[in-house]
Structure formats: C-alpha cells, structure tokens
Chains A and B, each alone.
Chain A
Amino acid sequence: MIPELGHFALILALLVAAVQGVLPLVGAQRNSGAWMALARPAARTQFTMIVVAFACLTYAFVNDDFSVKYVFEHSNSQLPLVYRFAAVWGGHEGSLLLWMLMLSGWTFAVSLLSRTLPLAMVARVIAVLGLVSCGFLLFILLTSDPFERLLPVPADGADLNPLLQDPGLVIHPPMLYMGYVGFSVAFAFAIAALIAGQLDAAWARWSRPWTTAAWIFLTLGIALGSGWAYYTLGWGGWWFWDPVENASFMPWLVGTALIHSLAVTEKRGAFKNWTVLLAIGAFSLSLLGTFLVRSGVLTSVHAFATDPRRGIFVLVFLTLVIGSSLTLFAWRAPKVGLGGKFGLLSRETLLLTNNVLLLVAAASVLLGTLYPLLLDALGLAKLSVGPPYFQTVFVPLMAPLLFLIGLGPSSRWKQSEPAEMFKRVRFAIPFALIGGIVLPFAFGNWTPLIGLGLLLAVWIAAATALDIRRRFAAGGNIPRAFWGMHLAHIGIAVFVVGVTLVKGYETEKDVRMEPGDTVTAGSYSLRFLGVKPVPGPNYRSDMADIELSQDGRVLRVLNPEKRVFLSQEMPMTIAAIDAGPFRDIYVALGEPLAGGTTGAWSVRVHYKPFVDWIWGGCLLMALGGLLAASDRRYRVHAQVTAAGTEGVRA
C-alpha cells in the first residue's frame, strides 16, 4: 500500500510539474499576473509530492519490504538501519529519486527566497525548473520506477553493495547531487533572462548566490567522494580519473568559471553572452554526467546495471534541454550589448584568462572521458584513457591558473598599470622562490614538479596575505565576499600543497608480516601483533592489531580489516588510518600467506605526508564560498528592494 502511495505521489508530482512548467511561462509572455502567480504554489506542491514519494521508499527500506523490487535488490534484513537509509540512493532508481528530491528542493528554495525578484522573472525561473522536473519525472515513471513490485515476494534481499556500506556514502551522493542539481537554478536564471531579453547586472546579481551555493555543495560532494575512495577502496589513492568522477569534476570546473564570470557581469556588465553560455554549460555537463553514468555507454568502476531504454530516454531529454537552450542562445545572443570596455591588462582580462583555462581543462576532461566512446563510434578502436593523459594535460593548464590566482586580486577593473601591479605583489616573489627552491629540501629531495607545486602554493598564500594587508590599510568595512574569495583561494593553495607533497614524498611498502614483525614508515614503526576474527552485523571480519610507535613510544593500535559480506560473499578491505595534520599512516590488510597456518599476512603500509590537506583545502574552498554567498550586499539589496515595493504598494 505504502509503495503504491509513493508511486501515486510521483504521478501527481508529474502533473503539477507540467502545470508549473507551462502556465507561468505563458503567463509571463502574456503578462498575466494570475498565471504567473501559479509558479510558487506549484513549486511547493511538487516538492511536497516528491518528499512523500521519497518517504514512502525510505519506509519500504526501513521495514524490509522485499516485495518492492528495488528494495529487494539493494537491501537485506541484516543491513544496519543507517545503511537502509543510505540504500535508498544505493541504486539507479533511488539515485534518480534523490535527484528529483534535490531539484524540487532547490525550486522550493527559489519559491521562498525570491520575494524581491520581479514576478515575471520568478515565474520564468520556476517554469524552466518545472520543465526540467517533467523530464526527470517522466524518466523515473517510464523507465526507472523505484516502486515496482516483485512477485512472489523473496524471503530476503540481495543486499546493498558492500562498497557502499560506509558512513561516507550516507552523505556523499546527497552532497554531490545538491551541487549537480543546484546548477539547474543558475541555468533557469540564464534561460529566463534569455527569454525576457534582459541580460543585465541585476540578473547576474540574482544568479550569484545560487551558483555559489550549488558550487559549495559540489565541492564538498567531490571531496567526500574522494575521501571515501581513499579509505574504502584500500588502494591509498584519492582520485582515479574514473568516468564517474570526471562527470562530477567537469561541472565543477565550468561552475568555477561561471562564478568568476558572473562577477564580471555583475560589476562591469561585460561577458554577458559568455556568462549565459557558461550557465547553460555547467548544467548541461551535469545532465551529460547523468547520461554517462546512467546509460552505460562508458565502462566504469561505478557501473550500474543498464537498460537500453534509459540511455535513449536520457539522450533525447539531453538533446531537448540543451539543444533548445543553445538555440535560444543563438537567437537572443546577437542582440545583447557588449558591456563595459576594458584594457589589455585589467581584472576583466585576467578573469577571462581564468575562464578560458578552466574551460579548456573541462574540455580536456570531457575529451579524455569520451575519447574511447568517440573512437568506438567511428569504428576505429576500443581503448581506455588513463591517468597519464589527464596528468599530462592538467599540470600545464593548472600552473598558469594558479599563478593568476595570486595576480587577480591585485589587478584593477578596466585598466591596470603593470608597474602598480608589480608593486603590489613584489613581496610575494621572494617567498614563492623560497617555497619553490628551498622548501622541498626540508621535506627531502627537490624535483621540478614538487618545486613548481610549492612555489605556486606559497605564491598564492603570500599574494593573498599582501592583498588582505592592503585592504586593512585602506580601512572601512571589509565585506564578507572579500574574505570568501581569499579563503577559497587559500583553500586552493592548501590543496596544492597536499597534492604536491603526497605525490612527491609518499612511500608504500608491501610486506609479509608474522606476529611480532616490525616495519617502518617515515619515522614511525609498526609492529604486527596478529589477526583475529571479529563478527560484524552482516559480515565476518579478520581484524589485525598493529601497534604504531615513534621513538619507542607506543602511540596507538591500528585495526585494518578484511571483511567478507555474508549475503554476497564479497571481500572488502577496510584500511586503518592514523590521520594527522602533517601525515597519514595508512595500513591495509592483504591476504593470509602460506594458507594462514603461520599467522603471516601480507600488509601494505603507506606513509602519506600532508594528504589531509587535499580535503582540508576543499573544505576551505567551500567555506570561502559560504562567506561569499552570504555577503551582506545580497541581503541588503534584498531589503532595499523589498522596502521599495512595499512603498509602492502603500
């Protein structure tokens, strides 16, 4: 009964989405207030319906309703409660429902936080989001119904993929989807502005906090995914250039470009067409990512069971949404003015360079991800593109970008004098040189890549510090956006330090260990005490006791595990990590050796200097985004406009 209720709620949501997508849009063209006013209540009703559907599916999971096919495929009576919640989005159908929950959630937020916007704009934005909803709801109902029943009812479920039974997975997909789907709001604003023919500073100002909010979630989502891969896959790696990872990274790159380009459009009225194109691009890449992951055209570690109908549906949907957006763009863009003029050396030029670099980076990731598919489609060959390609392409693109981060904030709008810019950043130069030439020796040896990485990281940090000092000297109120920008840039520097040092100085040892054996990692030594069987709720585990000590002092006991999940007999490695601000000691348990008679096991020990800075940097970027998005001027502007309209009404 409950699953049918959920199914019915989805059908109702589709009908509401159709109303939400058509009537306010027509109303805005005909200037009919009543039709436009439908937008907000429709968005809220749709959200309620999706929440009901989502709750019904969760209910089925929590109560072990294996008569629902999706629950049977992704749950088990032994599955701990918290993972039953996470299992809701552990497969294709539930992931899509989560997508829809996020999309209707963002629309709901727009309906609440848009009191200051002109009604026509709100109506168009919500309508565009409604049309996107229609497509996704049709997709769910026609090809991926999570409420489908299974007869006869199986006694127990097939269980959630053990890889996904992890606290990280409870929050990683929701974060990632919040980001992915969040770009739909920036997209809807861009389309609404194109339809209205009003691409102006006001449009950019409305879009900015929404874009930044989506970007924050995407940043956190990607960081969580990478952290999850780090400690559950047991390989000690944190990024694999897997197609699914790339699918989330491309919108991030374009979204980052969009954030910067929106700044130009808001402050200087320039780059309007470019900004619109980026807004369309960021969301298109989110949709493309969905297509790549859901259609099975690419093989990936994340591969889901696929159904050809799904691929065709998403492709048609993708073509309709992106195709019509780009057609609208081609039709409207020629009439858009150019905006403020700017000199060859100016903040505009630097931001444009930033945009071009980010876009080329996104394009090269797209190429690397699709290249196997393109060659296959042309009948040439089947191959896979690995990390070497991405690393070769990425370093040359990112190095100038990182250099620009230090320079950008020191430049002026319209026209910068080279001499003045140099004066502003000159004190950062010696620090950067020390960082690049001397600092590597403090950690070990010097290589060009380590030198380059540290040089750029120190350059960003020093140039940022100089800019903050200058701002203080100028006095007055410092807006949150200023702090947000610099915090995010410092986050990049921290991230670069992490990547550089972990790539440069990590060590990995594979050793055969018998109880009592010791192995060293950096200045630490690890003593293997033995392996004991430990029962888990739905798995059995071999857990090792490994004593970590430094200079003869015992620090703690690490417990790497080898789990075998009972329902699928699938083995999984759980690494034990002693995390610290300057290094991680990462221990993974291999296989029992010599048939397990001597108590000997193969053990892998990684010493990873500064690896946590990678995620620390992402966290700082997200915090920077939060500061920027909550800047006073968005709120003050909001109040002023609200007071203005009240006044008119009175």
Chain B
Amino acid sequence: MRFLIPLGLFLLLVGFLAAGLKLDPREVPSPLIGKPAPGFALPQLGAPSARFSPVDMKGKVWMLNVWASWCVSCREEHPLLVEFSRNATTPIYGLDYKDQPADAERWLKQFGNPYALSVADADGRVGIDYGVYGVPETYIIDKQGVIRYKQIGPVTPEVLSNKIQPLLAELNK
C-alpha cells in the first residue's frame, strides 16, 4: 500500500497543474475595472511633505504603475516604461509599494525614472484598496477618474502596443 503513496502524491500534483493550465497568471479579472479609482493622498517619494491624490488628475488620462525596489519582475518592465515615458503624452505615476524610501530612490537612480512622480505606500494600504495582487501592476485611469484597464505582472512590448497604446489613444480623443 505504502508504495502507492508516490503515485498518489504525483496525481494530486497533476490535478493542480491541470487546473493551473487553465489560469493565466498574468490576467486577473479586477472588480475595479469600470469603477472610480479609489482615492488616496500619499506623501511623494523624495518629497515627503508634498502629497499626491488621484483627484489632482481629474480631466487627464494617466497610468498608475505599482512598483517596488525589491520586485524582480519590475526590473523586467522598467526599461520599457522608461522608453515609453520619453515620448508618450500620457504620464505614468508610480505607487511605490511596501518599500523603504531610500531603497526606492536608489533604485530609480539606478534604472531611470519614468514617473511624473511616485508616492510611497509604505504599509500597502492603498495597495489593498486597489486590489494589488503582486508587483508590478499597471492601471489606466480615464479623464473621469475611472479605472479602464489593469495589467497584472510586467508590461510587455506586446501588451504595450496591442492593449495599452490603442486604449490610451481612444481615451485621449
């Protein structure tokens, strides 16, 4: 009987793997799409006395990118964001998630800063409001302050050109 244990464990694993195949780790339906972006007023990274709030952005299309200096996947998407910020009309705002400000600032120096500005979400409260699953995540928010798109995981060149840019063009009309 006990010799069947390895087989049993393996079949259990196969069950999980099969279930895992149906799921796309990068696509999570967000209940927030089509809803107003949750409000916050957080200190700016590098200038803790100044605050930033989504209300300031009414009337503009903007992107909110959740990042952190400890996040490995962020490094993957970062060059793309830096490149994007050079010639795009839509500003990217950073939400520095559960991070040490010193680490975060060093990280931006090291890899470049694509953000109009970043705010520090030190305890991750705002992350909870936004339903952050994992870092990085990117939200597109329209002129009415409504979340129109959410990218979980790194932004890839395909996502940028096939999804994000067409949507931005439409929203910016």
Contacts and interface: CB of A to CB of B under 8 A. Distances in A.
Q: Which interface residue of A311, A322, A377 has the most chain B CB atoms within 10 A?
A: A377
B133 A381 contact: yes
B106 A510 contact: yes
A295 B21 contact: yes
Nearest to B72: A240
B134 A383 contact: yes
Contacts of A338: none
Interface stretch (B5-13, B55-63, B119-127): B5-13
Interface stretch (A55-63, A264-272, A328-336, A533-541): A328-336
Chain A interface main SS type: helix
Interface in B43-95: 70, 72-73, 75-76, 79, 83
B76 to A, nearest CB: 6
A386 B68 CA distance: 13
Nearest to B75: A235
B7 A301 contact: no
Interface string A266-289: 000000010001001000100000
B90 to A, nearest CB: 19
Contact of B133 (A291, A322, A382, A590): A382
Contacts of A382: 25, 28, 133-134, 152
Given A373-B20, A374-B16, A604-B110, A322 B10 contact: yes
B26 interface: yes
A240 B109 CA distance: 22
A312 interface: yes
Interface in B1-35: 3-4, 6-7, 10-11, 13-14, 16-21, 23, 25-26, 28
Contacts of A377: 16, 19-20, 23
Contacts of A604: 110
A372 interface: yes
A650 B109 CA distance: 79
B145 interface: no
Contact of A312 (B16, B21, B72): B21
A507 interface: no
B166 interface: no
Interface string A365-392: 0000010111011000111101000000
Nearest to A334: B3
Contacts of B11: 323
A242 B133 contact: no
Interface in A324-382: 326-327, 329-330, 333-334, 370, 372-374, 376-377, 381-382
Interface string A174-213: 0000000000000000000000000000000000000000
B16 A510 contact: no
A512 B70 CA distance: 22
B110 A297 contact: no
A519 interface: no
Contact of B23 (A301, A334, A376): A376
Contacts of A235: 75
A569 interface: yes
B112 interface: yes
Given A299-B25, A301-B73, A323 B10 contact: yes
Given A298-B25, A299-B73, A373 B134 contact: no
Contacts of B13: 370
A530 interface: no
B101 interface: no
A650 B4 CA distance: 47
B111 interface: yes
Contacts of A81: none
Contact of B14 (A308, A319, A374): A319
Contacts of A311: 21
A297 B7 contact: no
B4 A602 contact: no
Contacts of A570: 79
A590 B111 contact: yes
A201 B128 CA distance: 59
Nearest to B19: A377
Interface in B93-107: 106
Contact of B20 (A242, A297, A591, A602): A297
Contacts of B152: 382
Contacts of B21: 295, 297, 308, 311-312, 315
A515 interface: no
Contacts of B111: 590-591
B42 to A, nearest CB: 23
A408 interface: no
A326 to B, nearest CB: 4
A383 B14 contact: no
Interface string A591-625: 10000000000101000000000000000000000
A510 B108 CA distance: 11
Contact of A602 (B25, B110, B153): B110
Contact of A326 (B10, B23, B110): B10
A280 B111 CA distance: 44
A329 B6 contact: yes
A315 B26 contact: no
Nearest to B133: A382
A297 B14 CA distance: 13
Given A242-B72, A295-B21, A315 B3 contact: no
B18 A315 contact: yes
A327 to B, nearest CB: 6
Contacts of B75: 235
A168 interface: no
A318 interface: yes
Contact of B7 (A291, A318, A329): A329
A383 B98 CA distance: 15
B6 A297 contact: no
A284 B75 CA distance: 32
Contacts of B76: 301
A298 B153 CA distance: 11
A579 B72 CA distance: 26
A602 B82 CA distance: 15
Nearest to B80: A570
16 contacts: A296-B25, A297-B20, A299-B26, A299-B73, A315-B17, A315-B21, A323-B7, A330-B7, A374-B16, A376-B20, A376-B25, A381-B133, A384-B134, A510-B106, A512-B109, A590-B109
Those 8 A-B pairs whose CB atoms lie nearest each other, nearest first: A377-B19, A326-B7, A382-B133, A333-B3, A330-B3, A297-B20, A373-B20, A330-B4
Interface of A: 235, 240, 242, 273, 277, 280, 284, 291, 295-299, 301, 308, 311-312, 315, 318-319, 322-323, 326-327, 329-330, 333-334, 370, 372-374, 376-377, 381-384, 386, 510, 512, 569-571, 590-591, 602, 604
Interface of B: 3-4, 6-7, 10-11, 13-14, 16-21, 23, 25-26, 28, 70, 72-73, 75-76, 79, 83, 106, 109-112, 133-134, 152-154
Given A299-B153, A376-B25, 12 more contacts: A242-B72, A301-B73, A315-B14, A315-B18, A319-B14, A326-B7, A326-B10, A330-B4, A373-B20, A376-B20, A386-B70, A510-B110
